[in-house]
């Protein structure tokens, strides 16, 4: 496969600035970088973004994430490696990423569980993080970016 064009965020530097600024908000709000990388990895798996799948496990490892947690993130419901707060974040990630899979894309049950673990600012930051990785996934997929070309 060959990329169709450079990543649009690289073609338009002002887009890159905006996306990079947005990506800093969740950590500045206090969310764990390890949690955010699990969220990034899971959304990227769902979307089939090979660039982000390849890149975000690398970033997670730099933050001290373990192989067993990275390898099991697609099966987080059945794997014993995640806290209840992480499970709530992963459930929210899946719901927000798969918006067309059900009539109520983010059911109250998923939202309410997330509110049990995250206060208003943290929850807002988590939703922003999920939205941001979905933007990156779509930019990469639309333009057929090549996995391995980006080495964070």
Q: What is the pTM of this model?
A: 0.95
* 2 found inside a domain: no
Residue 149: is its pLDDT beyond 90? no
> Which structural domain, as residue segments, surrounds residue 88?
8-143
* 149 found inside a domain: no
pLDDT in tens, 57-106: 999 999 999 999 999 999 999 999 999 999 999 999 999 999 998 899 99
* 150 found inside a domain: no
Specify the number of domains making up the chain: 1
Q: How confident is the model at residue 47 (pLDDT cuts 50, 70, 90)?
A: very high
* 33 found inside a domain: yes
* 57 found inside a domain: yes
* 3 found inside a domain: no
Distance, CA of 143 to CA of 130 (rounded, Å): 20
* 73 found inside a domain: yes
CATH classification of the domain holding 116: 1.20.1290.10
Region 33-51: mean pLDDT is 98
Q: How confident is the model at residue 150 (pLDDT cuts 50, 70, 90)?
A: confident
* 109 found inside a domain: yes
């Amino acid at each position: 496969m060959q990329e169709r064009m450079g990543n649009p965020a690289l073609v338009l530097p002002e887009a890159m600035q905006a996306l990079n600024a947005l990506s800093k908000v969740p950590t500045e709000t206090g969310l764990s970088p390890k949690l955010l990388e699990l969220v990034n990895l899971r959304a990227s798996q769902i979307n089939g973004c090979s660039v982000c799948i390849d890149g975000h496990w690398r970033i997670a490892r730099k933050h001290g994430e373990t192989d067993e947690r990275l390898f099991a993130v697609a099966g987080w419901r059945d794997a014993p490696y995640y806290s209840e707060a992480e499970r709530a974040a992963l459930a929210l990630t899946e719901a927000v990423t798969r918006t067309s899979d059900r009539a109520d894309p983010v059911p109250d049950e998923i939202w309410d569980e997330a509110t049990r673990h995250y206060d208003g600012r943290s929850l807002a930051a988590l939703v922003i993080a999920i939205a941001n990785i979905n933007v990156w996934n779509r930019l990469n997929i639309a333009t057929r970016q090549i996995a391995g070309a980006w080495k964070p």
